[in-house]
Every structure is written in C-alpha cells, then in structure tokens.
Amino acid sequence: MTQRNRGLVVGMLIALAAHLVAAGLVWSVFGRLPELVVSHWGPNGPDGFVAKGHTFWVLLGSLGFTVLFTLLVAAVTPRGEGATVAGLGAAMGVFLAVLLGGTTVLQSGTTSAGPLEFQSWWLLPAVTVAILTGIASSSLVGQAPPRPNATRIPPHSARLPEEDPRRTWNAIVASSPGFLLILLLPVPVFLIVAFAMQDWLLPLVFMVLVAIPLLGMWRWRIGVDADGLSVVGHLGWPRLHRGLHEIEEASVLERVEAMEYGGPGLRMTSQGARLALRSGPGLRLELSDGTDFIATVPGADTAARTLNTLIGEQRER
C-alpha cells in the first residue's frame, strides 16, 4: 500500500469513527429532541429545519462529503505523501461530526416554537478538536518513505566552473505585491460577516486560521548545501527538504507562470511540489521517484549549477 493510500484509509476511518460517535450521541437524546431540529442558523436566527428523524441522514451526507473531500485531496497528492491526506481528511470529518452532532444534541429539551439560539463559541471546540485530530492523524501515517537513491547525474548537466569554490547558495524569495492584496482580502469579508451576525468571535477565529498559513507562505528561505535543497516558510513552516541522494538533476525553466499552479504559494500536485510566488525563471529538480520539484527563484541558474556540482562530486567519489 502506498503512503498516499494509507493516508486515505486513515483519514476516512477516523472520519467514519467521528460520525458514528456523533450518531450515537444524537441517538442517546433522540427522544428529547424537538420534532423539527434546527439545521442552519442565519444572521437573524434559525432559518433551516429538518425532521428529527432526518438528522442521521444529515450526518450521512456529511460523511459522504468528507469522503469526497479526502479523495480529492488524495488525487492531487504524490503517492509517497500520505500524512497530508490523512490529516486533512480526518480534520474535515471530525469538524463536521462535532459541529453537526453537537448542535443537534444541544437542542435536546427545546421545542420547535422556541429553538436553540446559535452561539459562535460552539465552533471553537469543533475547530480545536479537528486541528488536534488532523495533527495526530498525520503523525499516525508518518513521514513519506525515503526516495530511492539516484545513481548518476547526466554528464551534460550544467555545473559551476571548476575554479569556482562556491558549494552553497541561498536566497530569500518573496511574493509579488499582488499577493499582499490576497492576504488582505479576507479582512473585509470577515468584517461584513461579523457586522451581519453581530458576533465578532467567529469571524475573528476564522480570519486568524486563514491569515496565519497565508503569512507563512508570503516569504521563503531557500538554500543549497551539501545536504541538498531546503525550503522554509516565513514563520518556520511549511518546510521542504530534498536531499542530494534523491535528486537526479537540477535544471532551469526559462519562465514559470504562478497562475499555472493556481496562484502564488506552495501547491502539492500528483507530479510533485510547486512553489510559485511570481512569474519568472524556475528551478526544477528531477527526483528519483519520477516526481519533480519546481520553484520560482532568483538566480535559478546558479542554484541549479551548485546542486549539480554537489551531486556530481558526491557520486563521482
């Protein structure tokens, strides 16, 4: 079983377990639920209802959505990367199960004429449990297995001149100013939501959850040394490392358009990771498992030559 498939199984099983627990809790209070259970709250209070017998169908639909979501994540993830699939799938399943099951159980003892009023802090346990479960699920799957050792480097690969003593390369890669506008886009959206709901806690929590990952991917440190290539986000995460032993060859792409990969930022695809912060020259690493890594960096030619030189020296010993 590939690491990706293992992550798929782990994510789905944890999501299934969470939904079964939610269904059990709903069943335990089923006799005390109102005949019409609130299924959705709007700015002015409850605006969607389902018959209490249909609450289990709602949970089944939630589980179906989670399965589809996890499959889509797996479809764009390399087969050797399973932790991401397990973490996102389990987190989504647990979040929906806790939210839907919890808000249903809380309606025990209420009536359809006097339905439960939504409190935004209810989302905090769902978000917290989902994040912790996602981290634990990723750890359960573990890191991707090491790629096979590359055995040689093509003799025609571009290298540093023999007299050049450099064996390291470093660069700071920042997104274009347009990416900062993307960072600011959630702010007015969440402010509008907060004003409409007259509730600031929920929009603030989600704004932080969206802003922190984006800030972490705004600026990156990229380095090449005897260990290979390392990529570190502005806040110390995400981190990527490609060792010399797994790189077949480094080369330069004359021009990479960020929008080819869905916009600025880090993207995981079935062909490998893509770090496209702005349009321009790209560094491409061909890896020993058939995938590759592409990053738009200044001085891509020097980075490629330095890597090829280090690889050649390592394998020609």
Query: Strand (E) positions, the chain?
Result: 36-42, 45-51, 169-174, 219-225, 228-233, 239-243, 247-256, 265-269, 272-276, 280-287, 292-296
Characterize the bridge pairing of strands 272-276 and 292-296: parallel
Determine the pLDDT at residue 148.
Answer: 72
Cα distance between residue 195 and residue 189, in whole Å: 10
Q: Which residues of 216-237 are buried (b: 16+ CB within 10 A; e: fewer)?
A: bbbbbebebeeebbbbbbeeee
Characterize the bridge pairing of strands 169-174 and 219-225: antiparallel
Cα distance between residue 255 and residue 278, in whole Å: 10
Question: The whole model's pTM is what?
Answer: 0.70
Share of the chain above pLDDT 90, in %: 31
Characterize the bridge pairing of strands 228-233 and 247-256: unpaired
In tens, the pLDDT along 108-143 reads: 887 766 666 777 677 788 888 999 999 999 988 877
Average pLDDT over residues 193-219: 69
Average pLDDT, the chain: 83
Domain with CATH 2.30.29.30 in the chain: 169-315
In tens, the pLDDT along 250-280 reads: 999 988 877 777 667 778 777 888 888 877 8
**Which 3 state secondary structure label does DSSP give 18?**
helix
| Token pair belonging to 285 | 């690493």
Determine the pLDDT at residue 86.
Answer: 93
**Could you say which architecture CATH assigns to the domain 169-315?**
Roll (2.30)
pLDDT band at residue 72 using 50, 70 and 90 as cut-offs: very high
Helix ranges, 29-160 (H) = 55-75, 83-105, 123-141
